[in-house]
């Protein structure tokens, strides 16, 4: 697969399946515990958002999860981690099969996260930005006791404004740099990315979280880029003005979230590195996966408690990760 178009800026294909799963079922897909399967890859930052929000809200029982392997080819993600290479519930080898069940002529990206309707085997939605919001809003009847409110009504306008900027200039900004097809396109993306990171550092110097005094959807969306920064974006995507670990405020902020239940315990650094360095073979034709960076720094004291804030608001942390969904011990610095 080719990810870089010579001479051109990178443009993400944003044609998603926008059908929604809602409490009232207005799109034909009502919220029903156990009916759907959330398909993710721990390598993918967009899918990682859904993994984190699902865990914070305690939706593991209501919305079971399938984890694809860290690599894919031009056909799609595979279920190589499962016995026999098939998802045990959907019975498929490739996520592509669920997309083609929805639309035999489907010609867009086979992306994660995707929510599949188990009875029909069809993808309902892969609209990653909407999925996490609907987990907060539409699945509320099935949230755990003590679940936080990552998309609270009072903060929603500010969360939306922050999310829009972070998406354009950080979440997607690293890709614009990494997949730039010209020096000019790369330079523009690089400058926009680090200008925004500087502004975010200024904002977070006086505030523990991006919006308000609790963790919100905005923090989830920024975290999934920051946690991949030193492992892949700094080198592989040439976002190398400085490492995250050399940026004091953002590094402390990222460590604070990483050490918060629901964040770091979902991160698989092995999958992250293998995905980027093996799949993007037009950027890394040797297929060599770096041995580093040293991950132990993620568990060092961050000092962000001095800024106040209540991670879960009036709620409580999620329960420990189940054995079935835990990240392998050698893929994470988290204590086992």
CB contact at 8 A, 205 and 211: no
**Residue at token pair 């998406």:** 167
DSSP 8-state symbol, 317: P
16 is catalytic: no
- 225-255 as b/e, with b when 16 or more CB fall inside 10 Å? bbbbbbbbbbbbbbbeeeebbebebbbbbbb
Rounded Cα distance, 294 and 292, in Å: 5
Provide the token pair at 39: 């398909």
- 56-84 as b/e, with b when 16 or more CB fall inside 10 Å? bbbbbebbbbbbbbbbbeeebbbbeebee
Q: 151-157 — which CB contacts under 8 Å span 24+ positions?
A: 151/216, 151/217, 152/212, 152/216, 155/211, 155/212, 155/216
44 is catalytic: yes
Question: One of 151, 175, 190, 233 is an active-site residue; which one?
Answer: 175
Question: One of 44, 99, 209, 253 is an active-site residue; which one?
Answer: 44
**15: exposed, middle or buried (C-beta count within 10 Å: 0-12, 13-18, 19+)?**
exposed
Spatial CA neighbour of 250 closest among 211, 214, 215, 198: 198
* Strand-pair category, 65-68 with 114-117: unpaired
E strand map for the chain: 36-41, 65-68, 114-117, 122-125
Residues annotated as part of the active site: 44, 175
């Amino acid at each position: 697969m080719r990810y870089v178009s010579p001479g051109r800026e990178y443009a993400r294909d944003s044609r998603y399946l926008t059908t929604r799963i809602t409490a009232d079922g207005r799109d034909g897909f009502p919220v029903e515990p156990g009916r759907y399967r959330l398909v993710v890859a721990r390598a993918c930052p967009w899918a990682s958002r859904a993994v984190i929000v699902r865990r914070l809200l305690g939706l593991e029982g209501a919305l079971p999860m399938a984890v694809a392997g860290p690599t894919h080819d031009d056909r799609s993600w595979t279920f190589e981690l499962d016995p026999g290479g098939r998802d045990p519930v959907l019975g498929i080898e490739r996520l592509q099969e669920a997309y083609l069940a929805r639309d035999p002529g489907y010609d867009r990206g086979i992306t994660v996260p995707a929510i599949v309707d188990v009875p029909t085997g069809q993808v309902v939605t892969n609209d990653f930005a909407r999925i996490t919001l609907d987990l907060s809003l539409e699945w509320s009847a099935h949230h755990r006791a003590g679940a936080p409110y990552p998309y609270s009504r009072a903060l929603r306008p500010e969360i939306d404004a922050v999310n829009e900027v972070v998406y354009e200039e950080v979440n997607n900004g690293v890709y614009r740099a990494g997949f730039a097809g010209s020096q000019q396109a790369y330079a523009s993306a690089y400058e926009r990315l680090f200008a925004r990171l500087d502004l975010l550092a200024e904002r977070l110097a006086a505030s523990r979280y991006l919006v308000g005094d609790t963790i919100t959807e905005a923090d989830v969306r920024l975290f999934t880029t920051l946690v991949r920064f030193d492992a892949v974006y700094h080198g592989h995507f040439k976002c190398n003005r400085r490492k995250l670990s050399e940026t004091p405020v953002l590094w402390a902020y990222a460590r604070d979230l990483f050490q918060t239940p629901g964040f770091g315990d979902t991160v698989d650094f092995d999958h992250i590195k293998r995905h980027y360095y093996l799949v993007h073979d037009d950027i890394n034709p040797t297929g060599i996966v770096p041995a580093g960076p040293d991950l132990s720094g993620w568990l060092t004291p961050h000092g962000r408690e001095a800024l106040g804030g209540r991670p879960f608001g009036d709620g409580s942390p999620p329960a420990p990760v189940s054995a079935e969904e835990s990240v392998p011990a050698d893929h994470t610095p988290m204590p086992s």
